[in-house]
Amino acid sequence: MASPPTTTIHNPQLRLLNALRANAKPIMTFLGLPSFRTAQVVAQTGVDGIIIDCEHGHISDDAMHSSTAAIAAMGVSPLVRLRMTHADLIKRALDAGAHGIVVPMINTADEARTVVAHAKFPPQGLRGQGSAFAALAHGVDTGTYVRTANETLITALQIESKAGVENVDAICAVPGVDMLFIGPNDLALSLLGYVPAKGNEPEFVDAIEKIVAAARRHGKWVARLSNTEALSKEHLRVFDTVALSYDIRAMQNWYMAELKVARS
């Protein structure tokens, strides 16, 4: 596939971006717990990127800043999933040093253009500059960060509704959109009225295929959530990257498995 436009400058600190550029099939995960130490522990596992979940996770602005710094210091790429598309949320995540943003529920090209505008410095966008922290997580000085951020930050938009699927081609065509991220649970709710999807429902399968095809046509990366290691391996045959589960789910699964053996 053709690489997105945010790929012309090389920075070795940007682990996820570099792996995507190399078609190395990087693996991410979600962080939902507001702990500097949890962020460090998960970052040490070998994942390439961690999505700090400010949408559904227990993550405050302060915890987002701390987790971003902790993850980046471990040589892993921190991304922040926002609550909404508001400009102030985009600014806070990027000013904390996020290597990219994941924005939920994008349904139209206009919404995509709004996100991109607030994620880019002028003249490409409207983002303001003033953070002393963003450059630290990129391993550069502030001047270099401002000069290169527009070309090195990943803007990932979640397609997770019937409207998003219907408009996916127009969303993909927006300059500055780097990645589509499929939210399978909300997509299933929107299309099928229940979760989780069985995975073989024609409407659900067709929607995912349409999203992937649009991403390929427009030279965008495409990603999705994968709840298990087996699904991750399967999905990586199609997708450029996956988010393998969630810190909270990992803890629950470990305890349930161990308790089952202990009580047997």
For 85, the domain range is 15-263
Q: The tokens of 185 are what?
A: 């649970």
Radius of gyration, alpha carbons of the chain: 18
Asked if residue 107 belongs to a domain, the reply is: yes
Asked if residue 9 belongs to a domain, the reply is: no
Q: Cα(159)–Cα(129) distance, rounded to whole angstroms?
A: 29
pLDDT in tens, 206-223: 999 999 999 999 999 999
CB distance 67 to 59 below 8 Å: yes
Domain count along the chain = 1
Is the dihedral angle over the CA atoms 195, 199, 201, 202 positive or is it negative?
positive
Asked if residue 3 belongs to a domain, the reply is: no
Asked if residue 162 belongs to a domain, the reply is: yes
pLDDT in tens, 176-194: 999 999 999 999 999 999 9
Catalytic residue of the set 10, 56, 58, 86? 56
Q: Does residue 10 have an active-site annotation?
A: no
Residue 95 confidence (pLDDT): 98
Asked if residue 10 belongs to a domain, the reply is: no
Q: Cα(171)–Cα(180) distance, rounded to whole angstroms?
A: 9
Confidence of residue 7 (pLDDT cuts 50, 70, 90): low
Asked if residue 8 belongs to a domain, the reply is: no
Q: Cα(210)–Cα(191) distance, rounded to whole angstroms?
A: 14
Asked if residue 7 belongs to a domain, the reply is: no
Confidence of residue 9 (pLDDT cuts 50, 70, 90): confident
pTM: 0.95
Of 53, 50, 49, nearest to 19 by C-alpha is: 49
Asked if residue 212 belongs to a domain, the reply is: yes
30-40 in b/e form (b: 16+ CB < 10 A) is bbbbbbeebbe
